[in-house]
Chains A and B, each alone.
Chain A
């Protein structure tokens, strides 16, 4: 085993003995047991099902794709968080056809309609050589989706018609970025038939509307090609799962110390008793803000908590993906090591960044401002971190559009619009700065100035990117102002 210094989790994937062991039946069983225990430690409610699918994929790697599809289908039907079943259920009960049809018929008809739509659109694009649709299928899809949202918001449909339209839009919205990857992969060689691509639409290892890890073409590239690659991938998966467990212990202790929340039945005798960020914003809104130092504490604690939560969540997903035989990169990779604003963006939420790069950055960069390199880079970054970022979250929060209509939702979205513009500008400038000059390697810049600037920027601005709590931009600014206004 190679040693490059102390590691909390040993580099088991670099041990020839373990790699060899993991290729035999006994070794595979051992890996699965260790992984199952890791999932259990994480409190996964589905660890038995997950391990069963992973076991089948380990035993018959030649059937990995059909098993992936079967696992994904099982997960889709068994997990209530998938497909926003709860939101659909609400539409069905309140708005919809509850008196004329049953819930399974309603849900199933929407799923089938969405699959048919995706398949038809995919093949339409594939056969439209030389047309605008062929060159810009994702732009056409997103524009069409926005138009349908507008129609659903304002067209005078009956309640039943609305329920079906919203239902379709909810499911399509959930899978829209998966379809986008399918469209991008349509010419990849060797291709994946659309029916098999459906198996990658939010695979059983988890994720959100953001495809983890990207589309079918990418999965094909990172798939273990032989027993040794599978063994290494699985050992890396175990390593990542247990690293995530250590982070979750850190998070538990952190919450105990900060909020006084018991951790494994342990309670801290002293804790900071800090309010939550939502609580602090609510106090600001009601005109009774907390003291400046409390607001600073709230901001810092929430930022650290967000980083830990995202890391743990992403690590568990990627660990499971690696156990399934796909050598995916981590979603979060040492964000504290970032020395520029652009680097943090790359390290913090890799697959979301990749989505924005593929569908917004590249198209803008390749088509516009080609004679002005700096403007070209800035605008492409703005298109990704600004426009793409806003659009992604706008579509994701479809329940707000349903509640307020598209115009009302746009107004409610002002905080995120501001965040997108701020982020786009900052990352764009950071990219230009990186291009224009070599960074100083002086220790003070490496270890003090750069991290403080980068982390400080994200720490302060991350509050604008939090899920919609219903406050206007003024509340956030007031909250930040209260951090520098020192009162008795």
Chain B
């Protein structure tokens, strides 16, 4: 499964847990729209730490990078490569 698909599935899981099953596109800004909270962003951080071994502690953190499937994928690609 591609990184983008894994991230999409994970976000869908978070939204489902919150009772939000209205679907989303890869470009949709889920934090900005209020569908994902700051706590959900931290859940995503933990997922990326565990799944891809990314360490966020030594770089400036920007919540905007966690807003959509596309932006998270881009972030992961940048940090892994």
Contact = CB atoms under 8 A, between A and B. Distances in A.
Interface of A: 134-135, 184-185, 187-188, 217-218, 221-222, 329, 342, 346, 353-354, 357-358, 361-363, 365-367, 370, 373, 377, 380, 431
A184 B62 CA distance: 7
A188 B58 CA distance: 17
Interface string B58-79: 1111111001000000000000
A329 B32 CA distance: 8
B45 A366 contact: yes
A230 B49 CA distance: 39
Interface in B30-81: 32, 34, 37-39, 41-42, 45-46, 49, 56-64, 67
A135 B60 contact: yes
Contacts of B32: 218, 221-222
A218 B59 contact: no
A370 B67 CA distance: 23
A177 B63 CA distance: 16
Contacts of A370: 49, 57
B45 A217 contact: no
Given A221-B29, A329-B34, A363 B64 contact: no
Contacts of A363: 61
Contacts of B62: 184-185, 187-188, 217
A135 B57 CA distance: 9
Given A135-B59, A362-B41, A365-B45, 6 more contacts: A134-B60, A135-B58, A221-B67, A357-B38, A362-B42, A431-B39
Given A218-B32, A431-B39, A366 B64 contact: no
Contacts of B49: 370
A367 B64 contact: no
Contacts, number: 49
Contact of B63 (A362, A367, A377, A380): A362
> 9 tightest A-B contacts by CB?
A357-B38, A367-B57, A366-B56, A329-B34, A362-B61, A366-B57, A221-B32, A217-B64, A365-B42
A2 to B, nearest CB: 14
A363 B46 CA distance: 14
A82 B45 CA distance: 38
Nearest to A363: B61
- Residue picked from B32, B58, B59, most chain A C-beta under 10 Å: B32
A218 B64 contact: yes
B64 A361 contact: no
A122 B10 CA distance: 36
Interface residues of B, number: 21
Contacts of A185: 62
A350 B61 CA distance: 20
A373 B46 CA distance: 9
Contacts of A380: 42
Contacts of A366: 45, 56-57, 61
Contacts of A357: 38
Contacts of A135: 58-60
A358 B64 contact: no
A428 to B, nearest CB: 12
8 contacts: A135-B60, A188-B62, A218-B64, A342-B39, A358-B63, A361-B38, A366-B56, A377-B42
A367 B49 CA distance: 12
Contacts of B41: 362
Given A329-B34, A354-B38, A361-B38, A188 B60 contact: no
Nearest to A358: B63
A317 to B, nearest CB: 17
A52 B19 CA distance: 42
A363 B29 CA distance: 22
- Residue picked from A217, A222, A329, A365, most chain B C-beta under 10 Å: A365
A237 to B, nearest CB: 16
Contacts of A358: 38, 63
Nearest to B41: A362
B55 to A, nearest CB: 9
Contacts of A184: 60, 62
Nearest to A377: B42
B48 to A, nearest CB: 11
Contacts of B64: 188, 217-218, 221
Contacts of A134: 60
B22 to A, nearest CB: 13
A316 B58 CA distance: 39
Contacts of B67: 221
B69 to A, nearest CB: 15
Nearest to A357: B38
Contacts of B61: 362-363, 366
- Residue picked from A187, A221, A342, A362, most chain B C-beta under 10 Å: A362
